[in-house]
Amino acid sequence: MFRKLLVLIGAACALATLPASAQQSVARAPLDLFVGYDTLREPDLSPNGRYIALVRREPVGDVLIIFDRQTRQSQAIQTARADQQMRIDFVSFKTDDRIVFGFSQKVHVVAATGSARVGSRADDAFEWVSRVYASDITGANRISLYDPSSQSGLPRWVNAQIADMLPRDDNNVLMVAPKAGGAELWRINVRTGDHTTVDRGGLYTFNWVVDSEGIPVLRQDVIANGRGYAWSRRGRGQNSWTEIIRFRGAEGANSGPTFQGLGPAVAPGQVFVLARRDNDDTSGLYVYDAGTGQYVETVETNPDFDVSSAIRDLDNNKILAACWWGHRWECDPKDETFGRYWVGVTRALGDQLNVRLEARGGERGELWLLRTNGPQDLGTYRLYNIETRQLATLFTVRPTADASLLPTQRVVQYTARDGTQLWGYLWIPPGVTNATNLPTIVVPHGGPEGRDVWGFDPFAMTFASQGYAVFQPNFRGGGGFGRRFVEAGHRQWGLRMQDDVVDGARYLIQQGITDPNRICITGWSYGGYVAMTASFQNADVFKCSVAGAGVSDMVAMQRWVRAGPRDADVASGGGQGSQSMSYRYWTEAMGDPDTDRAMMDAHSAAQNADRVGMPLLLIHGEEDETVPIEQSQLMVRAMQRAGKQVRLVELPDTNHYFRPDQGDAWRTVFTESLAFYQQNIGPGVAPGSQ
């Protein structure tokens, strides 16, 4: 049933060497290439470098495979059945002969008197319940490290997870174990399943960070019913936890970390953290003393971008490189020896690819498992031998991808109307060498404190692959560029942030890149708000609008955050109260209905439906807990009252986020959007037509 991984790797390599004319069997990349699960994912390299563990998506579901590099044989050892709504979340080598892996299962949450419970009906909401196992690499001697039955009735944000693999301990890992009275941190033996409790958290604790001796010194707790979180510290020998900071905002809103624990530093009681220290504008990488609350060493700061990640030597608790999203993914080596190899391999791979180090193995750590991606690389895993300087392609995550049918990407600089210098990504359709007079889709990002990045984006890559230029502006209010850039967008919904998007579109028209008669705007979440607002504010620029999961009425949205829906679902994101962190965040970022109502109404599409001057398509998930579907339904009713046509595509059993398990829903999003463009601005350009 399962092909040898060797065959798969060989096929992927052979495909890469075929001429473009032999590879191109269809005129367009199929939409299924951009939705659903990767065919291959989540690889890890054994400590000795001999084995690769990975997950392969089969018709039956997820299959866990062990590939032996020495014998060139592979073995399927576990399956997570798709018909049981299961998936494999991760796999990690504990030793050369023992692995730890995680399953999760999608279950529905339904109403029950006085509480929420897990049930079989699908009319309210859903969540993923996790399991963690360990086994030999042959699949034998499998044991459960966590029994999810004890998780029944717990909040949906608490799941079993590995807190630390303890790389210098061959037998034990640290695991967050949800419990009815509050999560616990377990030291658990991966061969026997025996555990000891290292620490007990509160009812909403979901994460710990330990120091170099495995002592928990940072703790993370959910606040505001899952709409924010708090970090606390505790020094060695101290009894109580001291809160460091509270995160304000909706899920995923703040992309630049205000504070985030990474892992142990060398000295006991100290850890590496990403933080916006004191009054700094951007986030940096520091060594933090949990006992004193002091930043004792600065590892990396960048005046232009938030440092957001690090490559760590887990065996020696050292930082090898600090990383961030600039125009592309960038890493600044902090270790001289590592830096020589890193600079060499990244230069060899070229500036079109983002490069990440996923794992190291071999007797001397000479084998690096690398992951690359870019506009014409949906994800490729490579093995680099730093001693021989040999770089081999192992596999691509989507083996059927044909690079000749994928778009290219470039950075475009432009000036906003107030003189501010901004930039964004321009995607050029496949085979286009003369980027002039192109049908164009402008796609503002969500958040609004998100940002667009180099490489895969589901909207941009899908639409560009079908012959449309796509522009993604990094407008003010977005994250990743420092706090001042974020705050420049506060209370600027429909104002400065909207202008930044429109000014980018006008620049493309002025440069002759975009056909002024064939330009539409599409967005999701906050981007959906921008697209909906453009339908009445920017009809002089755009010819159609697709608004996904967008806010149509800012005052109504604030009311929902404060009071919740009238017929509250089990797992609603609303109803936080006027003193909640969520409500305070949105009044600061969006506006206060008590003092800013006139401004908020003036820039809310549902209050201005009579001014809509272009065809409008709405798309929304029925189970959206971040922006309720009522926001799109409000817009439909407002358009009907105004005597204007509009269509709402409702996605059943779909939440707010682009997820592989919701591939069918996202295929609908893209199919409906492309049909709408075809109807209103015509087809995309054919490959090689200009």
Express each pLDDT in 440-478 by its tens digit: 999 999 989 999 999 989 999 999 999 999 999 999 999
Decide if pLDDT at 671 tops 90. Answer: yes
pLDDT score at 249: 52
What are the two backbone dihedrals, phi and then psi, of residue 609, each rounded to the nearest 5 degrees? Answer: -60, -30
- Residue-level pLDDT at 657: 87
* The pLDDT of residue 178: 86
Residue 407 has pLDDT above 90, yes or no: yes
pLDDT of residue 153: 53
Contact 396/379 with Cβ under 8 angstroms? yes
Please give the sequence-ordered ranges of beta strands (E in DSSP) within 443-543, or none if there are none: 469-473, 514-524
Q: What's at 206, amino acid-wise?
A: F
Is residue 227 predicted with pLDDT exceeding 70? no
Q: How crowded is residue 667: how many other Cβ atoms within 10 Å of its Cβ?
A: 16
Please check the confidence at residue 155 and state whether its pLDDT lies above 60: no
Q: How far apart are CA 552 and CA 604, in angstroms?
A: 6
Average pLDDT for residues 97-107, to the nearest whole number? 91
pLDDT of 688 strictly over 70:
yes
Residue 132 token pair: 């963690």
Give residue 202's pLDDT.
87
Q: What is the pLDDT of residue 152?
A: 54
pLDDT of residue 118: 36
pLDDT at residue 72, as a whole number:
94
Task: For residue 350, name the pLDDT band (cuts at 50, 70, 90).
Answer: very high
Q: Is the pLDDT of residue 268 over 70?
A: yes
Question: In this predicted structure, what is the pLDDT of residue 107?
Answer: 77
pLDDT tens per residue, range 595-628: 999 999 999 999 999 999 999 999 999 988 889 9
Is residue 176 within 8 Å of 163, Cβ to Cβ? yes
Q: Is it the case that residue 5 has pLDDT exceeding 80?
A: no
According to the model, what pLDDT value does residue 106 have? 83
Cβ-based burial of 586 (10 A; exposed 0-12, middle 13-18, buried ≥19): buried
What are 386's two structure tokens? 């730093």
Cα distances (Å, whole numbers) of residue 403 to 374, 418, 456, 497: 10, 39, 13, 34
Tell me: pLDDT of 114 over 80: no
Q: How confident is the model over 185-213, as a mean pLDDT? A: 94
- Rounded CA-CA distance 231/236 in Å is 17
Residue 15 has pLDDT above 50, yes or no: no
With b meaning 16 or more CB within 10 Å and e meaning fewer, what string describes 604-620? bbbbbbeebbbbbbbbb
Tens digits of per-residue pLDDT, 511-559? Answer: 999 999 999 999 999 999 999 999 999 999 999 999 999 999 999 999 9
Ordered DSSP codes for 36-55: S--SEEEEEE-TTSSEEEEE
| High-pLDDT (> 70) share of the chain, % | 88
**pLDDT at residue number 26:** 39
- At residue 110, the pLDDT reads 55
Structure confidence by residue, pLDDT tens digits, 33-53: 999 999 999 999 999 999 999
- In this prediction, residues 641-654 reach a mean pLDDT of 95
Q: How far, in Å, CA of 342 to CA of 688, rounded?
A: 36
Task: Using the predicted structure, report yes or no on whether residue 80 has a pLDDT greater than 90.
Answer: yes
Instruction: Indicate the DSSP class of residue 151.
Output: G
Token readout for 499 is 């202008």
Q: What is the pLDDT of residue 126?
A: 66
pLDDT higher than 60, residue 156: no
The whole-angstrom separation of Cα 180 and Cα 237 is 27
Asked if pLDDT for residue 22 goes beyond 50, the answer is no
CB under 8 Å to 114, separation ≥6 — which residues? none
Check residue 2 and give its pLDDT. 31
CB 552 within 8 A of CB 534: no
Q: What is the mean pLDDT of residues 353-381?
A: 96
pLDDT(489) > 80: yes
Please determine, for residue 581, whether its predicted confidence score (pLDDT) is greater than 80. no
Residue 628, CA distances (Å) to 17, 225, 230, 428, 588 in order: 48, 16, 25, 34, 20
N-terminal to C-terminal alpha carbon distance within the chain? 45
What's the pLDDT at 109? 59
Question: What's residue 569's pLDDT?
Answer: 43
SS3 content of the chain, % helix, strand, coil (to 5): 20, 35, 40
- pLDDT band at 226; cut points 50, 70, 90: low
| Contacts by 627-631, CB closer than 8 A, 24 or more apart | 627/525, 627/528, 627/549, 627/550, 627/551, 627/557, 627/656, 628/560, 628/565, 628/572, 628/573, 628/574, 630/556, 630/560, 630/565, 631/550, 631/551, 631/552, 631/553, 631/556, 631/557, 631/606
